[in-house]
Structure 1
Amino acid sequence: MEKSLNDRVVLVTGVSRRIGIGFTLARTLLDAGAKVFAQSWAPHDDEHPWGADPDGAAGAIGELGGESDRLAHVEADFADPEAPAQVVKQAVERFGHVDALVVNHARSALGTLDEVTAADLDLAWAVNGRASVLLTQAFAAQHDGRPGGRVVLFTSGQHLSPMSGELPYAISKGAIHQMTLSLSATLMDRGITVNTINPGPVDTGYAEGEFHRAVADAFPLKRWGQPDDVARLVLWLVSDEARWITGQVINSDGGFRHGKL
């Protein structure tokens, strides 16, 4: 599928860490000929043990070749309800039109039933669920019906095994799973497909030690998923090859055995 996306514009969220999925998505799409408008929000990474990229989002963008006529970048916090529309607007101002939207960002949020608060739930929903809807809304509003309209969303494995220690995250990701079919029905007659990926556990630097080994052992191939595994599927979904696929939640998790953890 080399150069299969020549001159198409793809907005990718969550491009902040070189070890992350978003970085590999952007690199793969650029290699396929696309122009990429990348969003990041490094302060979220700073809140977690894995931390932000050592050189910040600028390090990731720099390794992708730096801003150019094919790559642009913005920092935006999707906790702000105005941010999704603003990001799409900036992408259109930079490149004239957005052909595909890949909503890769996520707010990680721990919390059991005893621990969870209204603020935890509201923030996870705002960043993960609400922003996915509003990004799709703004993307669809600027789409002019040309071939290649694509939306790719991301859920997690909450529909396959419990995530009782990450309730805010699991609930907000479950909402994305459930919105997929309705969004696809809304947009198909406008030439836009909508699909969602559950990538399974992907090795982006957040796990180590015994937990890392236990997760690897739960895969038939005894290895974690890699960002490139996700990028290959995204590349196909935004290409012309996938023009007849819509409304699907795709479990691309390498046969991960959920009951093994």
Structure 2
Amino acid sequence: MTFPLAGKTALVTGVSRRRGIGFAVASRLAELGASVFVQHWRPHDLDQPWGGDDLGAVRGGIRSSLIGEAMLGDAEVDLTDAAAIPGLIDAAAALTGRLDILVCNHAKSGDDGSILDMTAERLDAFWDTNARSTLLLTAEFARRLAPPQSGQRRPGDVIEGAKPYAEPTGRVFWMTSGQGHGAMRGEVAYATSKAALAGITRTVAAELLELGIVLNTVNPGPVNTGYMDPDTADRDTSGIEEWLGSTPFGRVGVPTDPAALIGWLSTAEGAWIVGQVLTSDGGFSL
């Protein structure tokens, strides 16, 4: 077998539960040959109905997917602390001496509400976690691949790169949600933060491409990571079985669905897809 990501190193954020998308993404990249560094912030999960997972088991699960001499590293980092972000990028790069892939999978859930419930503090909390930290992580990742720049750019100025590039110098993945396909009642702050990432994808992708870095944003649609199960749900689950019967495949997504897409986009075969907001939802948005 060939492993298309052999020799590459990936940082995946938001990897603290074996049922989560981050765990599935990290495992998939490992299966493709990459070394993987994961970020987790367990205090967030402990505040949710699904609770925290055993981080040792999380590490063990990813480690079992590693190929050959590939390595695993991890760190507990609060991404709302902007000062902690450069250190996380440094730690991920130090695992093997390089960093090729950044997957910004982390997200704040819970403590949201309707428009009537919005406060400055609630909006800031979701923005800081979901949008601001993603942009800051991307900026730190890109700075390490950028040649020296002549100065601050004005509107319309182009980042100075070293084109042409035979292949991408790096990959970045953002995660959005289904806010563009329909209402997300009671999730105004979450949808706002995710809409910002979808809305800015083309601008940031165009800039990163000057450095050879490919950015795409993935909307995984409804993926059950525990929030739809009656014993760990954060919402009303009555009627969910009837609703599932009306869906195209008779099921919601599972974490390996978006992980498969991100894995493929990380390989040479996915290099020509740039600056897109890709919906991988099994037809839910139809």
TM-score (norm 2): 0.84
> Is the 8 Å Cα contact of residues 218 and 257 (structure 1) preserved in structure 2?
no
Give the drift of 1:216.
Answer: 2.5
Alignment map for 1:202-213 (pairs within 5 Å) = 202-209=223-230, 210=238, 212-213=240-241
The CA RMSD measured in Å over matched residues stands at: 2.0
Structure 2 residue 186 is matched with structure 1 residue 165: yes
Task: Tell me whether 1:119 sits opposite 2:121 in the alignment.
Answer: yes
Cα deviation, residue 245, structure 1:
1.1
Alignment of 1:65-214 (within 5 A): 65=63, 70-109=71-110, 110-143=112-145, 147-148=167-168, 149-209=170-230, 210=238, 212-214=240-242
Superposition deviation, residue 50 in structure 1 = 1.1
Contact 2:171 2:214 in 1 (8 A): yes
| Shift of residue 84, structure 1, vs aligned partner | 2.2
Give the residue type in structure 2 aligned to 1:126: D
SS in 1 for 2:283: coil
Evaluate the alpha carbon distance shift between residue 257 and residue 179 of structure 1 in structure 2; reply closer, same or farther with a 3 A threshold: closer
**3-state DSSP class of the match of 2:199?**
helix
Matches of 1:94 and 1:7, distance apart in 2: 12
Secondary structure at 2:43's aligned position in 1? Answer: helix
Q: Choose between structure 1 and 2: higher helix proportion.
A: 1
Q: CA deviation at 1:129?
A: 0.1
Report if the CA contact (8 A) 1:218-1:256 is conserved.
no
- Of the structure 1 ranges 21-30 and 88-97, higher mean CA displacement relative to structure 2 is found in 88-97
Question: Normalization by structure 1: what TM-score?
Answer: 0.92
Deviation at 1:204, TM superposition (A): 0.8
Which of the two has higher C-alpha Rg?
A: 2
- 1:127 offset after TM fit, Å? 0.5
Verify the 8 A CA contact 1:17 1:60 in the aligned structure 2: yes
Q: Verify: 1:256 aligned to 2:252, yes or no.
A: no
Cα 1:215–1:107 change in 2 (3 A) is: farther
Partner of 1:42: 42
**Cα gap change, 1:138 to 1:251, in 2 (>3 Å):** same
Whole-angstrom CA distance in 1 between matches of 2:246 and 2:198: 23
Structure 2: distance between partners of 1:140 and 1:50: 34
Rounded Cα–Cα distance in structure 1 between residues aligned with 2:246 and 2:98: 42
Whether the 8 Å contact between 1:98 and 1:142 is mirrored in structure 2 is no
Q: In the TM superposition, what is the alpha-carbon distance from 1:47 to its structure 2 partner?
A: 0.9
1:64 counterpart = 2:62: yes
Q: Which of 88-97 and 206-215 deviates more?
A: 206-215
Distance in 2, Cα, partners of 1:78 & 1:111: 22
Segments of 4+ moved more than 6 angstroms: none
Gaps (5+ residues) in structure 1? none
Tell me the residue number matched to 2:245.
217
Moved more, 151-160 or 203-212: 203-212
Structure 2, unpaired ranges of 5+: 147-161, 231-237
Whole-angstrom distance in 1 between the partners of 2:47 and 2:178:
23
CA contact (8 A) 2:33 2:70 kept: no
Q: Give the whole-Å Cα distance in 2 for the aligned partners of 1:37 and 1:212.
A: 36
Deviation string, structure 1 residues 221-246 (Cα, Å, up to 9, x no partner)? 10110111111100111111111111
Deviations 1:101-128 (A, max 9, x none): 1111110142111112111110100010
| Match in the other structure for 1:229 | 257
